[in-house]
A and B are shown apart, each in its own frame.
Chain A
């Protein structure tokens, strides 16, 4: 369970972080609409993971207790919280998924190509500026690094998965 959590986090954080880096260091440097969207997306995804793990543990606690005579008990309470958390996670995941898809669509339809977004007002506040002409060299290094980060995370995840999935052939062969 622990290593599963760790590797899941590696994948999620690596990929989201790479996307965020690309967006933040694309001039104008700073947290803008797009990168804020990514931060929220990654954050909610990780929150969902943790809430679900908590829900699993609570459900287990509820399962193992003997059913009591009183109305209020650990069994009943943990069971209730577990189910509530699970439902809440489902709702959150739905919202998050919709949000991501909408964000991607906004990107490509250039709805976010406004002065407010391009100058990263959210991050820079009153210091924000807008680019008229610039030299892309600094940006290149960041992009290469971000792509490298994403690739490395995917590499780690897939290698681990490959190692643990390779079971002897007799388990899968037909009878």
Chain B
């Protein structure tokens, strides 16, 4: 596509750079701790179709997310930096072009020699050099890479969460055992199954509370008591544990782990296709930055009811 229309590729490149500048300028006015992360993500993900979502079932929604965010942002940061290889290649191209020029001027008096062809063709392909250098300056991230980054981050986060949950479970078990001993000692009667469950749940809640000092931790407990299914119990514990870790985490930049088939033809052009989504991108930037501003100015206290999450369409 960019060979067919260098103008289009150049246009896309300039748009990317201009958008980056715009996002940066607008984000500078906001005072929020995750300002730089948000800016970085918005800049790097210009080539990825993004949309805001209110779906709170995503892993990213769970506020353990410092880990998740770090993972993603670290990946996003990777630019196609200047390496010896790229530098050498570009230098080599320039040297070749200079030789072509020299040849073209030396063989001026020779009508049979086809040197002007080299000169003209060389000039015609010069845009390639500009665009390659340009894309080295501008950080971008395509949908496929984003997908792998998200999977990686998901795995890491889940591992970390599982570890935390295991810790909490151990503590709760200890508390449960000691409580049971106390109860048996006091009552000298076998305890009915039902009230045992209740005791466990209570201890779970108490354990989490005492460990992290947040009152919100009991949310999943009804579920825990009612559902026998291991997975939902796990999920409930997970959300409990995880919410009690850090409830005030912002949930702004969380893409979903899929690229929908609707935009396949756009995705195939992913290197330079941001031109076709420029309007949508600008609206998105506006939304995200306004939400961030709201978070920063503290108009929403505690957990916002509809957190904004970025999703790949």
Contacts and interface: CB of A to CB of B under 8 A. Distances in A.
B264 to A, nearest CB: 13
Contacts of A96: 3-5
Nearest to A7: B14
Interface stretch (A45-53, A66-74, A120-128): A45-53
Interface string B109-130: 1010010111111011111011
Contact of B8 (A3, A8, A173): A8
B6 A12 contact: yes
A12 B3 CA distance: 12
A108 B121 CA distance: 9
A137 B206 CA distance: 93
A94 B265 CA distance: 14
Interface stretch (B144-152, B225-233, B271-279): B271-279
Contacts of A97: 1, 3-4
Contact of B15 (A1, A87, A89, A104): A1
A23 B4 contact: no
A92 B123 CA distance: 22
Nearest to B112: A113
Most chain A CB neighbours (cut-off 10 Å) among B43, B120, B121, B137: B120
A147 B130 contact: no
Interface in B12-60: 13-15, 17-18, 20-21, 24, 36-37, 39-40, 43
Given A12-B127, A172-B40, A165 B137 contact: yes
Nearest to A104: B121
A41 B37 CA distance: 42
Most chain B CB neighbours (cut-off 10 Å) among A8, A16, A107: A8
A45 B8 contact: yes
A52 B8 contact: yes
A164 B14 CA distance: 8
B7 A150 contact: no
A136 B7 contact: no
A145 B28 CA distance: 44
B293 interface: no
Contacts of B269: 90
Given A11-B6, A143-B104, A174-B77, A5 B11 contact: yes
Interface in A73-110: 86-87, 89-90, 92-97, 100-101, 104, 107-108, 110
A8 B77 contact: no
A31 interface: no
A55 B126 contact: no
Contacts of B8: 8, 45, 48-49, 52, 89, 93
A63 B4 contact: no
B4 A154 contact: no
A161 B108 contact: no
Nearest to A164: B17
B120 A22 contact: yes
A22 B123 contact: yes
Nearest to B15: A4
29 contacts: A4-B15, A12-B6, A12-B127, A19-B120, A23-B120, A26-B116, A34-B117, A38-B124, A48-B8, A49-B7, A56-B278, A86-B276, A90-B269, A92-B5, A93-B8, A107-B120, A107-B121, A134-B109, A134-B111, A136-B109, A154-B130, A161-B17, A164-B17, A164-B20, A167-B24, A171-B36, A171-B39, A172-B40, A175-B77
Interface of B: 1, 3-8, 10-11, 13-15, 17-18, 20-21, 24, 36-37, 39-40, 43, 70, 73-74, 77, 79, 101, 104-105, 108-109, 111, 114, 116-121, 123-127, 129-130, 133-134, 137-139, 265, 269, 275-276, 278-280
Given A11-B127, A96-B5, A147-B119, 14 more contacts: A1-B278, A3-B14, A3-B18, A11-B10, A15-B126, A22-B123, A48-B7, A56-B276, A87-B265, A89-B8, A97-B3, A97-B4, A158-B133, A175-B37
Interface of A: 1, 3-5, 7-9, 11-12, 15-16, 18-19, 22-23, 26-27, 34, 38, 41, 44-46, 48-49, 52-53, 55-56, 59-60, 63, 86-87, 89-90, 92-97, 100-101, 104, 107-108, 110, 112-113, 131-137, 139-140, 143, 146-147, 150, 154, 157-158, 160-162, 164-165, 167-168, 170-175
